[in-house]
């Protein structure tokens, strides 16, 4: 398993798209943090709750983790390297587990990078106005929630990629679901009085974990997120186990 994990990390490090996404994350997080911090009034900057909300400007990490999670798996089918991978490690369950762990680690790394950029950009602005960050338990708790949400997004991307396998279909379908379909479905569910069901949709649940939604508690959102990650991983394994790749 250790060798598989190292192999997955090596594949990720040698992918040129990875560094482009890292640059994009730094730029988006920095601009968003600077914009929100400079636009706030002084009394908002002094509010610890507002300071915790500033951390949400690292949200791009979750989307990038999802997309890179998909790419890290579908690239195997796109370039027909999945056969070679399974020849080296015939136990398909171990290969999928290694990719899921890789997705989790990727999400953590991206979230930490995004948060570091947000804090580095916002801290001088807050200090200039006499309202430095309040590094209390709630602040670090929000950091933990954002990191966990990003990790689950990365693992979910791996599950989606392994289940769909076609790179373009997985990426386009996921983006449409996140940006359009889930919003419309949630609106219909709210209209039908099924708000609880809407809150349990993937994006809504993981947004609740990261502190962006009022429906579920962060703990409940995390539990629902783990369920989706497990469900997609299980479906992907069932497809991979029965698939003839020779």
Tens of pLDDT, residues 76-105: 888 778 778 777 777 878 888 888 999 999
How crowded is residue 197: how many other Cβ atoms within 10 Å of its Cβ?
Answer: 14
Q: Is the pLDDT at 217 greater than 90, yes or no?
A: no
Q: Is the pLDDT at 50 greater than 70, yes or no?
A: yes
For the segment 64-79, the average pLDDT, to the nearest whole number, is 88
For the segment 180-203, the average pLDDT, to the nearest whole number, is 89
The pLDDT value recorded for residue 181 is 92
The model's pLDDT over 117-172, given as tens digits with 9 standing for 90+, comes to: 999 988 888 787 677 777 888 889 999 999 999 999 999 999 999 999 899 999 99
The pLDDT value recorded for residue 196 is 84
pLDDT higher at 196 or 90 = 196
Cβ partners under 8 Å of residue 187, min gap 6: none
Structural domain count, the chain: 1
The pLDDT value recorded for residue 155 is 95
Q: Is-contact 155 104, C-beta < 8 A?
A: yes
Range of the domain at 19: 2-242
- How far is 207 from 40, CA to CA, in rounded Å? 23
Residues 69-102 as b or e (16 or more Cβ within 10 Å = b): bbbbbbbbbeeeebeebbeeeeebeebbbbbbbb
Query: Highest mean pLDDT: which of 15-24, 55-64, 156-165, 236-245?
Result: 156-165
Q: Which of 50-64, 125-139, 173-187 has the lowest mean pLDDT?
A: 125-139
The pLDDT value recorded for residue 194 is 85
Three-class SS of residue 13? helix
What is the reported pTM?
A: 0.91
The pLDDT value recorded for residue 43 is 59
């Amino acid at each position: 398993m250790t060798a598989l994990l190292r192999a997955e990390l090596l594949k990720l490090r040698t992918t040129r798209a990875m560094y482009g996404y890292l640059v994009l994350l730094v730029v988006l997080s920095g601009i968003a943090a600077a914009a929100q911090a400079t636009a706030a009034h002084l009394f908002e900057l002094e509010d610890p709750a507002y300071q915790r909300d500033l951390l949400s400007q690292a949200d791009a990490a979750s989307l990038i983790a999802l997309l890179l999670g998909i790419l890290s798996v579908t690239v195997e089918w796109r370039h027909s390297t999945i056969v070679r991978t399974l020849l080296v490690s015939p136990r398909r369950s171990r290969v999928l587990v290694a990719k899921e762990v890789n997705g989790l680690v990727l999400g953590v790394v991206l979230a930490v990078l995004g948060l570091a950029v947000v804090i580095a950009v916002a801290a001088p602005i807050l200090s200039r106005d006499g309202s430095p960050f309040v590094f209390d338990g709630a602040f670090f708790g929000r950091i933990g929630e954002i990191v966990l949400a990003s990790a689950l997004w990365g693992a979910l991307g791996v599950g989606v990629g392994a289940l769909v396998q076609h790179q373009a279909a997985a990426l386009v379908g996921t983006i449409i679901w996140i940006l359009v379909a889930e919003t419309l479905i949630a609106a219909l569910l709210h209209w039908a009085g099924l708000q609880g069901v809407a809150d349990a949709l993937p994006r809504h649940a993981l947004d609740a974990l990261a502190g962006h939604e009022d429906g579920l508690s962060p703990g409940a959102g995390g539990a629902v997120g783990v369920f989706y990650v497990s469900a997609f991983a299980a479906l992907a394994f069932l497809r991979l186990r029965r698939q003839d790749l020779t």
